[in-house]
Structure 1
Amino acid sequence: MKKSLFCILVFLSSVSLFSQTKVAGIVKDEGGSAVAFANVLFAGSREGTITNDDGRFYLESDSDYDSLQVSFIGYTTRQVPLKKGANYDLEIVLEEGGEQLDEVIVYVGKQSKKNNPAIEILKKIWAKKRINGLRMFEQYRYDKYEKLEFDLNTIDSSVIKSKLFKGMEFVFQDLDTSRITGKTYLPLFLNETFARVYGDNTLDLEKEDLLGSKNSGFSNNQAITAFVEDLYSDYNIYNNYLKFFDKSFTSPLSRTGIDTYNYVLADSAYIGDKWCYNIVYYPRRKNELTFKGDFWVNDTTFAIAKINLEVTKSANINWVKEIYIEQDFEVLNDSVFLLKRDYMLSDFSLSKKEKSRGVYGKRTTVYDNYVFEEPRPKEFYSRKTDPYNPLIFERDSVFWANNRLESLNKDEKGIYELLDTLKTVPRFRTYYDIVSILGSGYVEIDKWNVDIGDLYSTFGYNDAEGIRVRAGARTYFGQNDPWRLEGYLAYGLEDQKVKHGFSAKFLLDRGTRLILSGGNRRDVEQLGLSLTATNDVLGRSVASSSVFTVGANDRLTRINLTTLNLELEPLLNFRVRFGGSFRQLESALPDAFSLEYLDPESPGGIASEIKQFDITTILIYTPGKRTIGYGVERRDINDTYSTLLLNYTQGLEGFLQSDFNYSKLQFSYSQPWQVGGIGRLMSTVEVGRTFGEVPLGMLNVIPGNQTFFTLYNTFPNLDFYEFVTDTYASLHLEHNFNGRLFSRIPLLRKANLREIVGLRGVWGELSEANKTLSSPANIPLMAPDDAVYWEYSFGVGNIFRIFRIDFNFRGNYLDQPNARTFAITGTFGFSF
């Protein structure tokens, strides 16, 4: 999805609601310095905004206003006359000498944490937050309407007249203008959903029934749709941290907020018939993941009545220029404030420069028709509706007219027709295909219902094959295909041998996700990059094709693998896989690397080829995982879920001339942890044991890494096959501080670098029987049984926003022959 994001931005970067009153400009002090976070309102109204870090603002309204009110703590409030219509490039100078408000005490400059009335109010918000809103009722029900839009922004005459849009000028006939940024934009995607939500606070259960869904634009492209779906991330402003795009932002209502934000009690007034306090907040330091804005809070319940949040310009986040959030609450009765409307705008762009082009992602969620105290049995919440029921996607105009809790504006109504027309334009189809190819790596051949690729795997190199070329294809009728065939052919210029891989998958039952799959692969592979044996008939490790490696990359294996599997998902995110595999293994370079083992039935008592049939049962649980699609292949749209895997393998000697009878039990647990405001920790624990005697090719190799790529779950200071085990336990920890530390260092602050630390260790044993069985092999067999082998690393990420470099250190076993005490690895990619 990150690759797709970059491709979308590259493409779109190369290329109405006409309000009655529009204003834009800059606020400065008498010395000419910009005034950040100043309040800008249409006089006599509550329609307003605050200036950004550079003192700039944009504001618009459907109503006519003749003056603008600009204020900030420590300065005299100014009233600026406006002409009718647009008022751009205003320069407003504030004079020092702020006035005292009647209702509140005003503080100037960096705010003290002591004797600050705003912080006293904040503490009361913390005390009341768990008994406000929906938590005040035992049961609840409400309607939820969500509208998600995807727009190309910063449209000007140079874009309209460019050759890029030649023949597509009609799309610019009706352009809209953002009320947040003041930029013109062209809508390209619209998704509407209507759902009913049920909850029971006594049972701590909630379920959401999707009743209608309507798409336009790129709805048939999984890569683009998954990117857009990521905007659906749920958040609660009362939480300590708000997570957007894999980053945790400190909430202004957080208990840690007093160490992160300045708070000022700026005003008090009635909202409806409720007296509320207005608190302005802004960050204490730059380059941290923070917001600026203000909120209104009731003076008795201390429930939020209205809040806006804008990510600060200096925040350490890539590809996002703006994140702006508004939430409005309605008063149900004297003491209950319920969320009415939630609006979120994200401005994605390759650059944070003001005039750079990009993509808007806008989500509007409206809540209504609240009903309380309707008890339902526990079984009600376990019965889930089918979100892919065709009726949900075929709702007529009458349904949407009755259930849209917020009407579409003129431009939104035209998106469906616009996109249908645009898809018929050959030039647009060409651009769309380019983006699709870059994002997925496949070239679509629509008339054959086939995709050619993956293009990123076309060339490779290793010591056994030399230069390697590869070509592949897959069937593709649509993103929800019930079956898929895929295959490839490869050829090594050095060994002059053809390799191949073929797989087939069939979705037999959509409700239980019963899938039958199988295939065959004959190829050269670098085994030992994972503690679990590979059963992927199309997969290939980075190490198998690395052009540059540390030391000799000659411990390669020729593999002939055939598999047949049946997979079932009886419960959400819980999969059961049962299958069989037959593999033949032999060394790809026998003179340098041997897989030989003792075999009394072979000539000379030594065998060089392993033949093995295994039956495998795998249980996989991924709580919190979100996917899109209902075909045989689905696409993940988040990476915040944990993964628990239990694998039992039984080898059957004699069946299909299989060589060994053994059992293997393995367990792994991977968990990403969002550690408050100090970044993200990734942890993985793996344990396993093999019962019975097996040769080197079937033992558990501790994953070394002789490439220059940073590969999680490997040990970059170990060579391939340096440690081999039949019993093992390993731990991997990697923490990304997301720039939390570097942001405190003045010389590094503006670079937006991110610090990464890693710690990993493994312990294992290898029985004497297994050592003896593989004694003909020409590599020493050793396990880390004297002490836990461990490494640590320090890394710097976000170099030029795409590169990461890691410095890896070996902790022990330094007396091993040719032990690598230090290694440098790196990687590149596009992340927020």
Structure 2
Amino acid sequence: MKSPIFILLLLLTAAPLLGQVTLRGRVIDQDTKEGVPFSNVFFEGTTKGTSTDVDGYYELTVKEPGDSLSASAIGYNVVRKPVLPDLAEQEINFYLGGSSLTLNEVVVIAGENPANAIVKGIIDNKPETRMSARESYAYESYAKIELDLENIDAELRNKKLLKPFDFIFENIDSTSDEKPFLPIYINEVLSDVLYVKDAGQPKRIIKAQRATGTNNQTVIEYIKRIHLEYSIYDDWVYVLDKPFASPFSKSGLNYYEYYIIDSAMVNGYWSHQLKFKPKRKQEPTFYGDFWVADSTFAVQRANMRMTPDANINLVSRIIIHEEYEPKGEVPNWVPVKKKMVVDFSPAENAPGMIARRTETFKNMRLNQVGTKQDYIEKEEFYLLDEVKVENDSFWQAARHEPLSKTEQQVYTMVDSIQNMPLFKTYVEVLETVFVGYLQIGKVEIGPYSSLYSFNPVEGDRFSIGGRTTRLFSENLRLGGFLAYGLQDQQFKYGGNVDWIMSRKPRTTAGLAYVNDISLNSENSEEFVQGDLFSGLFRRDLLMKLMRVREGKVYYERFWKNGLSNRVTFLHREMDPYGGIFPDGRGFNFAYLSDPGRLTDIDTTIRTTEIIFKTRYVKDEMIVDGDFSRNSFGSKHPIIEFQYTLGVDDLLGGQYTYHKLNLSYRHYFYMNPVGWMSYRIRAGKVFGNVPFLLMEVHPGNEGYLVGRSIFNMMTRYEFASDTYASLMLEHHFDGFFLNHIPLLRKLKFRSYATFKAVMGRLSNANRDVNRLNLFEPTDVNTYPGFRAPSQHPYMEASVGIENILKVFQIEAVWRLNYLDNPQARRFGLRGGVAFYF
């Protein structure tokens, strides 16, 4: 009897344990791969459930569990997972995808919304909370950028061109319960970051870098610029050069509505969770949530997502996740992790690209004595050749967090792709299309855009050019071209030699010669010749061409502080070319070397010049290519100064003169009403010279928009020996059109410009050029040039851009100097311009 009774008692004691299941796991943001803190994990229709901890982990033990377990959080879609009834312990992870934030109306009675009071506390305290408030700081940064392809459907994978790459698609990550993606690129950078208050921007000293897919530094830096430096405490967070209003902006209460959702202990501080959403549609805003410490008003975690209807091109998602923690006895809140995700989608359901950047922070040192000295002594690297590290064991030890299994496979996968002959062929084809040159061994042929063109003087023009590659020499490049016009039956040609004397500091030298046709009187140091001979999209005006023979030798040096210097020795001959009148006469150029003798007329120009050029840009990011430099811009102005000395009787030069020119250009944001750019130029010519050697103010005889020229002015209509010009351009970024219901969906953007130039001629230069001066009182005078001396030449325009994302149309008004027979008061111009 004892044995059955004992068994019965044992069963009765164990009965409460039968049917119990322990569930544990993590709730993860699908896009950032970070835990979703204090989210809900529950069985629907019951009171059984729990909340995740600050890192998104949960554990739940229940009797008689349901068929499925759900996870939810405000701002995310609900996700359900099956539960196995006969397994006592199970791990169930949830990946939550973001949804548009919708909250029921909140009614606040007798007082201010308490969420607004918390936000005001954050705003008032952020001058002391943000990292830049510290006297100094230093830390080690590990930054990882990953590019993934998404929306790769089976039909695309079965394309003939991609069939040889079937093995790649085996690496598609479909194990994380989110839509599949294919990692194609990873860049890892380990660096030390130093900051000293009032000494400038933080310095980033790169210690090691590793990248898959490409070693092209220009490509790497361009990818990095997807994620520019920012702070969530800034009033505006810039992504792809687009400003978004921060929820912690001084004017945040004008852009967002805030709601208190929860309160809990986080990092030892009583903290509040707030949700925020934009007040209006289609403004550059975010929605999301954040946790803030009650006593210090320091943000501990933030999750922000771009509002889906924001007026930004090709981008469907921008996600920002940040974590902070207290450090030291007096709470200094320092960053632990920052993550940004940018999802590029050219069209719905089309293959897109996801760019993810994660940065973690280690060995944070605040206000230490040695930081200032390190800041002074250490230099930043923009050229990273000497800091690349490919050793696996080094990176395993250096990473702040390990790579995922999928990320580890990327290195192997990309290496396999690059070793395929077919892939190399595809790359060569794409480089030919986008670069414009076809590589054949040690030589590149091109650019293909100049193979054929047309103008009234040469008729059909055919051209072929080429240049050597690094396979020929890493420091020496040879190039040249040959062209022929069927109508004038004349050959044109040119050649150049470029020599990189040193890469650190960048020092170059070279020589060039060209015998060709030009629409411009500027030398090659002042004007970069493009494809000017297409004859397309031009107004029906006389084409004033010149035959130019120019040879030059140059030397250039780039310094580390943003300064560069260039000296050029140049000889040039210009001869008006081609019959632009029915009787065969050419360009109406005539210079009186002796103003008292009308028989002593020069119709050609020969000049020898020595040119000194200085350029300065603070904090400009420069990446050196094989034989060229690529600028990724700067927030600071670009300043250029040029001095030209014309020498008489040297290599046939006919004139002695001095030319000074100063240019200053910059852009700045005027949030929330867009951004403005401006260009200022001023200069003076000392000496008597033909008007073609003065400042010939750039006109536009085409129907395409030109940013740095006067669109309603004709070529050679105005010239000055003393001048100053101003060009203003303001882009409203949808500030007005976003508020018009019918236009809002089209995402058009408006802009406006104003351009003016003032100049004059000395009496001496007026005398020697009087045969070419325009006389408005003589209707029979061929349109010559004049100086805008009585009052500035002015024009203004309004336009709409972002038409089908890339096109623009502009209405331009010429405001004065309408007495020229070729002048038009109004014109329409079109163009192509892309801004995110």
Please classify the TM superposition score into its range, dividing by the shorter chain length.
0.7 to 0.9
Taking only aligned residues, the RMSD between alpha carbons, in angstroms, comes to: 3.5
Greater mean deviation of Cα atoms: 458-467 or 340-349: 458-467
Q: Deviations over 1:44-92 (max 9, x none)?
A: 344899xxxxxxxxxx99999963354669x9x9996754779999999
Letter matched to residue 759 of structure 2:
G
Query: How far has the Cα of 1:663 moved from its partner?
Result: 0.4
In 2, Cα distance between the equivalents of 1:785 and 1:268?
Answer: 70
Counterpart pick for 1:375 among 341, 362, 369:
369
Aligned residue in 2 for 1:201: 197
Greater mean deviation of Cα atoms: 687-696 or 452-461: 452-461
In 2, Cα distance between the equivalents of 1:443 and 1:113?
Answer: 74
Counterpart pick for 1:756 among 739, 751, 755:
751
Query: How far has the Cα of 1:516 moved from its partner?
Result: 0.8
After superposition, residues 278-293 of structure 1 pair within 5 angstroms as 278-293=273-288
Letter matched to residue 551 of structure 2:
T
Matched, 1:107 2:106: yes
Unaligned runs of 5+ in 2: 1-23, 31-37, 43-49, 62-67, 85-91, 580-584, 773-781
After superposition, residues 259-278 of structure 1 pair within 5 angstroms as 259-278=254-273
Aligned residue in 1 for 2:484: 491
In 1, Cα distance between the equivalents of 2:100 and 2:619?
Answer: 51
Counterpart pick for 2:557 among 568, 581, 590:
568
Residue 770 of structure 2 aligns to a residue in which SS? coil
After superposition, residues 421-436 of structure 1 pair within 5 angstroms as 421-436=416-431
Letter matched to residue 362 of structure 1:
R
In 1, Cα distance between the equivalents of 2:742 and 2:668?
Answer: 29
Residue 422 of structure 2 aligns to a residue in which SS? helix
Matched, 1:247 2:242: yes
Aligned residue in 2 for 1:35: none
Letter matched to residue 183 of structure 1:
K
Letter matched to residue 167 of structure 2:
F
In 2, Cα distance between the equivalents of 1:751 and 1:302?
Answer: 40
Q: Deviations over 1:605-637 (max 9, x none)?
A: 222211101111111012232122365412223
Residue 255 of structure 1 aligns to a residue in which SS? coil
| Contact in 2 for aligned 1:287/1:752 (Cα 8 Å) | no
Structure number with the bigger relative contact order (C-alpha 8 A, sep ≥ 6) is 1
After superposition, residues 361-510 of structure 1 pair within 5 angstroms as 361-376=355-370, 380-381=375-376, 383-384=378-379, 386=381, 388=383, 390-394=385-389, 396-445=391-440, 448-477=441-470, 481-510=474-503
In 1, Cα distance between the equivalents of 2:491 and 2:586?
Answer: 22
In 1, Cα distance between the equivalents of 2:419 and 2:611?
Answer: 49
Matched, 1:596 2:596: no
Letter matched to residue 208 of structure 2:
G
Q: Deviations over 1:759-784 (max 9, x none)?
A: 11111101232232223446423111
Aligned residue in 2 for 1:30: none
Query: How far has the Cα of 1:382 moved from its partner?
Result: 5.1
Residue 156 of structure 2 aligns to a residue in which SS? helix
Matched, 1:795 2:774: no
Letter matched to residue 160 of structure 2:
K
Aligned residue in 1 for 2:344: 348
**Taking structure 1 as reference, are residues 338 and 654 closer, same or farther at Cα in structure 2, changes over 3 Å only?**
same
Aligned residue in 2 for 1:703: 698
Greater mean deviation of Cα atoms: 695-704 or 636-645: 636-645
Query: How far has the Cα of 1:147 moved from its partner?
Result: 0.8
In 2, Cα distance between the equivalents of 1:583 and 1:292?
Answer: 61
Q: % of aligned pairs identical?
A: 28
**Taking structure 1 as reference, are residues 274 and 584 closer, same or farther at Cα in structure 2, changes over 3 Å only?**
same
In 1, Cα distance between the equivalents of 2:100 and 2:428?
Answer: 50
Counterpart pick for 1:124 among 121, 136, 146:
121
Aligned residue in 2 for 1:815: 819
Query: How far has the Cα of 1:386 moved from its partner?
Result: 4.7
Residue 208 of structure 1 aligns to a residue in which SS? strand
In 2, Cα distance between the equivalents of 1:326 and 1:90?
Answer: 14
Matched, 1:167 2:171: no
- TM-score, length of structure 1 as denominator length: 0.85
Residue 431 of structure 1 aligns to a residue in which SS? helix
In 2, Cα distance between the equivalents of 1:93 and 1:340?
Answer: 27
Greater mean deviation of Cα atoms: 472-481 or 750-759: 472-481
Query: How far has the Cα of 1:313 moved from its partner?
Result: 1.5
Aligned residue in 1 for 2:354: 360
Matched, 1:582 2:571: yes
Bigger CA radius of gyration: 2
Letter matched to residue 805 of structure 2:
R
**Taking structure 1 as reference, are residues 94 and 392 closer, same or farther at Cα in structure 2, changes over 3 Å only?**
closer
**Taking structure 1 as reference, are residues 119 and 542 closer, same or farther at Cα in structure 2, changes over 3 Å only?**
farther
In 2, Cα distance between the equivalents of 1:117 and 1:374?
Answer: 39
After superposition, residues 768-807 of structure 1 pair within 5 angstroms as 768-777=763-772, 779-807=783-811
Residue 651 of structure 2 aligns to a residue in which SS? helix
Query: How far has the Cα of 1:717 moved from its partner?
Result: 1.1
Matched, 1:605 2:600: yes
Residue 183 of structure 1 aligns to a residue in which SS? coil
**Taking structure 1 as reference, are residues 42 and 696 closer, same or farther at Cα in structure 2, changes over 3 Å only?**
farther
Unaligned runs of 5+ in 1: 1-18, 26-38, 50-59, 99-105
Query: How far has the Cα of 1:406 moved from its partner?
Result: 1.7
Query: How far has the Cα of 1:789 moved from its partner?
Result: 1.3
Matched, 1:615 2:610: yes
Query: How far has the Cα of 1:710 moved from its partner?
Result: 0.6
**Taking structure 1 as reference, are residues 386 and 743 closer, same or farther at Cα in structure 2, changes over 3 Å only?**
closer
In 2, Cα distance between the equivalents of 1:151 and 1:121?
Answer: 38
Query: How far has the Cα of 1:564 moved from its partner?
Result: 1.2
Greater mean deviation of Cα atoms: 250-259 or 612-621: 250-259
**Taking structure 1 as reference, are residues 164 and 597 closer, same or farther at Cα in structure 2, changes over 3 Å only?**
same
Counterpart pick for 1:185 among 181, 189, 208:
181
Letter matched to residue 371 of structure 1:
R
Query: How far has the Cα of 1:658 moved from its partner?
Result: 0.3
**Taking structure 1 as reference, are residues 47 and 605 closer, same or farther at Cα in structure 2, changes over 3 Å only?**
farther
In 1, Cα distance between the equivalents of 2:526 and 2:533?
Answer: 14
**Taking structure 1 as reference, are residues 664 and 409 closer, same or farther at Cα in structure 2, changes over 3 Å only?**
same
| Contact in 2 for aligned 1:205/1:381 (Cα 8 Å) | no
Aligned length: 770
Query: How far has the Cα of 1:735 moved from its partner?
Result: 0.7
Residue 118 of structure 1 aligns to a residue in which SS? helix
In 2, Cα distance between the equivalents of 1:403 and 1:125?
Answer: 35
In 2, Cα distance between the equivalents of 1:577 and 1:147?
Answer: 38
Letter matched to residue 157 of structure 1:
A
Letter matched to residue 166 of structure 2:
E
Query: How far has the Cα of 1:203 moved from its partner?
Result: 4.3
**Taking structure 1 as reference, are residues 408 and 773 closer, same or farther at Cα in structure 2, changes over 3 Å only?**
same
In 2, Cα distance between the equivalents of 1:257 and 1:731?
Answer: 35
In 2, Cα distance between the equivalents of 1:389 and 1:244?
Answer: 24
**Taking structure 1 as reference, are residues 80 and 390 closer, same or farther at Cα in structure 2, changes over 3 Å only?**
closer
Letter matched to residue 444 of structure 2:
D
